[in-house]
């Protein structure tokens, strides 16, 4: 894989992933507490589902590192490139299905995510995109050492990429239908 292609792919993916929590109202995470609008469930069941969900999310991250990071890609061989792209699509599909499950389990309910839930989703998306970046880096050569400054800068950039979604959700005024006056003719 070409380094510039991998970087631009990660930037595009980061742009989409950073805005998803703000643009889409469906929950992406099975949180261990009840959100506004969710049906009532037993507290032990909610915690169990959250633990299993985040364990599966960690498994998808590990699978990403194993499948993509250790893959061999010969750019001149079409089968090698197709296999590599197939692995990326497989991992992305698994992550997509896993992140869509909390919204599917609450279908029929209007769940209102809090700002804190959106922030947690943003952090999870940052971690998923970061794992994919590590896998690309591992695939292209050896991993470079990273200190806390690297994570602070990349998370700040991820937040900046998510700013349009934040503006859409919290700062953009939405027009409401004018209220009918009780004295107006109906």
Whether residue 184 is contained in a domain is answered as: no
- The domain of 139 spans 3-171
Separation CA 135–CA 64 (nearest Å): 7
CB 29 within 8 A of CB 112: no
Whether residue 183 is contained in a domain is answered as: no
Separation CA 31–CA 46 (nearest Å): 8
Separation CA 69–CA 11 (nearest Å): 18
- Phi, psi dihedrals of residue 112, rounded to the nearest 5°: -105, 115
Give the pLDDT mean for 143-155: 91
- At residue 185, the pLDDT reads 58
More confident residue, 75 or 111: 111
- At residue 44, the pLDDT reads 87
Q: Is the pLDDT of residue 183 over 80?
A: no
Whether residue 87 is contained in a domain is answered as: yes
Q: Is the pLDDT of residue 186 over 60?
A: no
Whether residue 177 is contained in a domain is answered as: no
Instruction: Quote the percentage of the chain above a pLDDT of 70.
Output: 91
Whether residue 178 is contained in a domain is answered as: no
The chain-wide mean pLDDT, for the chain, equals: 87
Q: Is the pLDDT of residue 118 over 80?
A: yes
- At residue 34, the pLDDT reads 82
Whether residue 185 is contained in a domain is answered as: no
State how many domains the chain has.
Answer: 1
Kindly give the residue spans of alpha helices, DSSP state H, lying in 39-174. 43-69, 78-105, 115-140, 148-161, 163-166
Whether residue 66 is contained in a domain is answered as: yes
Separation CA 73–CA 6 (nearest Å): 13
Q: How far is CA 55 from the centre of its chain?
A: 16
Separation CA 181–CA 170 (nearest Å): 28
Predicted confidence (pLDDT) per residue in 66-91, tens digit: 888 877 766 667 887 788 888 888 99
Q: How many CA atoms lie within 13 A of 174 on its CB side?
A: 6
Q: Is the pLDDT of residue 1 over 80?
A: no
Q: Is the pLDDT of residue 184 over 70?
A: no
Whether residue 89 is contained in a domain is answered as: yes
- At residue 3, the pLDDT reads 81
């Amino acid at each position: 894989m070409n380094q510039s292609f991998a970087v631009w792919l990660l930037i595009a993916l980061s742009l989409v992933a950073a805005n998803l929590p703000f643009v889409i109202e469906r929950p992406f995470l099975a949180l261990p507490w009840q959100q506004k609008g969710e049906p009532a469930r037993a507290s032990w069941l909610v915690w169990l589902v959250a633990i299993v969900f985040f364990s599966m999310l960690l498994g998808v991250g590990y699978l990403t590192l194993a499948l993509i990071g250790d893959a061999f890609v010969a750019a001149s061989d079409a089968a090698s490139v197709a296999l590599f792209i197939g692995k990326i699509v497989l991992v992305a599909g698994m992550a997509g299905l896993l992140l869509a499950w909390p919204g599917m389990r609450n279908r029929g309910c209007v769940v209102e995510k809090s700002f804190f839930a959106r922030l947690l989703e943003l952090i999870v998306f940052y971690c998923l995109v970061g794992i994919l970046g590590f896998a690309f880096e591992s695939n292209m050569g050896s991993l470079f050492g990273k200190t806390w400054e690297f994570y602070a800068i990349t998370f700040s950039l991820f937040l900046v990429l998510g700013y349009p979604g934040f503006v859409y959700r919290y700062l953009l005024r939405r027009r409401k239908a004018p209220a009918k006056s009780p004295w107006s003719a109906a």
